């Protein structure tokens, strides 16, 4: 069914996000996570990224178009020094054309890079999941396009595709009962791989500067 995710109103969740951001001490650089429920459900992000003040601004059903529409509230108003983005999963499920998703993604990343040139931006590739296995070819095509956009915009690109497959088999044991969202083991694998691909996101690394 088209339109079950993208373009919905998320005002209550945005209010909760801003309330949580206001509680931060502000003694560390701020890392903001924006995107869909794969970010919102990520456990212990304050520990995973302990060298940052973390604002988890993810919300269920989010798409690139939602992030574009809410960019002033969810991105710029939160003043991130590091911005992690996870979108595209729901866009594909909603039946959006890959070219349209890439157009909005490029528009968003261009805007972010122009308005926050000092912010380090990391885009995490939409993950393959058992619940959406019929879209696997479209995930690959979308991720290929997103990688090119990141390269052109100077955005860090992170892709967990190889990690989440054992040969041709998708690691279903890393998902909860809905076969869409990750369990703790899946998130732990993400954390380990993310720190390998982007060492300065590892609080135990010597490369922890945001400069």
Q: Is residue 179 within 8 Å of residue 131, measured between CB atoms? A: yes
Inside any domain, residue 4: no
Pick the range with the lowest mean pLDDT from 14-23, 38-47, 146-155: 14-23
> Cβ atoms within 10 A of the Cβ of 210, count?
16
Q: Is 67 part of a structural domain of the chain?
A: yes
**Residue 43: pLDDT above 80?**
yes
Residue 139, domain extent: 14-20+27-200
d(CA 133, CA 170): 9
Is the confidence at residue 209, as pLDDT, over 60? no
How do strand 120-124 and strand 30-35 relate by DSSP bridges?
A: unpaired
Q: How many domains does the chain have?
A: 1
31 bridge partner residues: 54, 82
Reduce the secondary structure of the chain to three states and give it as a string: CCCCCCCCCCHHHHHHHHHHHHCCCCCCCEEEEEECHHHHCCCCHHHHCCCCEEEEEECCCCCHHHHHHCHHHHCHHHCCCEEEEECCHHHHHCCCCHHHHHHHHHHHHHHHHHHCCCCEEEEECCCCCHHHHHHHHHHHHHHHHHHHHHHHHCCEEECCCCCCEECCEECHHHECCCCCCECHHHHHHHHHHHHHHCHHHCCCCCCCCCC
Per-residue model confidence (pLDDT) at position 205: 86
How far, rounded to the nearest angstrom, does the alpha carbon of residue 14 sit from its chain's CA centroid? 16
Residue 84, in any domain of the structure: yes
The arithmetic mean of pLDDT across residues 16-41, rounded, is 93
- Asked whether 89 and 136 are in contact (CB, 8 A), the reply is no
47-51, 57-61, 75-79, 200-204, range with the lowest pLDDT: 57-61
User: Per-residue pLDDT tens for 74-100?
Assistant: 999 999 999 999 999 999 999 999 999
Q: What is the pLDDT of residue 208?
A: 58
Query: What are the beta bridge partners of residue 55?
Result: 32
Asked if the structure places residue 173 within a domain, the reply is yes
Looking at residue 186, what is its pLDDT? 97
Is residue 8, in this structure, part of any structural domain at all? no
- pLDDT score for 4: 62
205 assigned to some structural domain: no
CATH number at residue 113: 3.40.50.1110
Distance (Å) of CA 18 to CA 23, 124, 195 = 9, 23, 27
The C-alpha atoms of residue 64 and residue 90 are separated, in whole angstroms, by 9
Statement: residue 211 has pLDDT above 90: no
In a domain, 206, yes or no: no
The verdict on residue 190 lying in a domain is yes
């Amino acid at each position: 069914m088209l339109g079950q995710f993208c373009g919905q109103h998320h005002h209550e969740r945005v209010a909760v996000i801003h309330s949580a951001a206001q509680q931060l001490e502000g003694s560390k650089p701020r890392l903001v996570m924006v995107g869909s429920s794969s970010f919102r459900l990520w456990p212990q992000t304050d520990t995973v990224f302990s060298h940052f003040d973390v604002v988890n601004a993810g919300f269920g059903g989010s798409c690139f178009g939602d992030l574009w529409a809410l960019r002033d509230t969810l991105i710029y108003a939160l003043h991130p020094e590091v911005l992690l983005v996870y979108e595209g999963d729901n866009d594909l499920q909603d039946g959006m054309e890959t070219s349209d998703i890439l157009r909005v993604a490029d528009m968003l990343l261009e805007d972010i890079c122009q308005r926050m040139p000092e912010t380090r931006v990391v885009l995490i590739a939409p993950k393959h999941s058992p619940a959406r296995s019929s879209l696997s070819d479209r995930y690959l095509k979308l991720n290929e396009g997103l990688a090119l956009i990141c390269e052109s915009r100077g955005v860090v690109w992170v892709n967990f595709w190889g990690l989440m497959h054992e040969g041709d088999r998708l690691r279903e044991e890393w998902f909860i009962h809905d076969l869409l969202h990750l369990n703790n083991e899946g998130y732990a694998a993400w954390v380990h791989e993310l720190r390998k691909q982007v060492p300065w996101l590892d609080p135990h690394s010597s490369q922890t500067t945001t400069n």
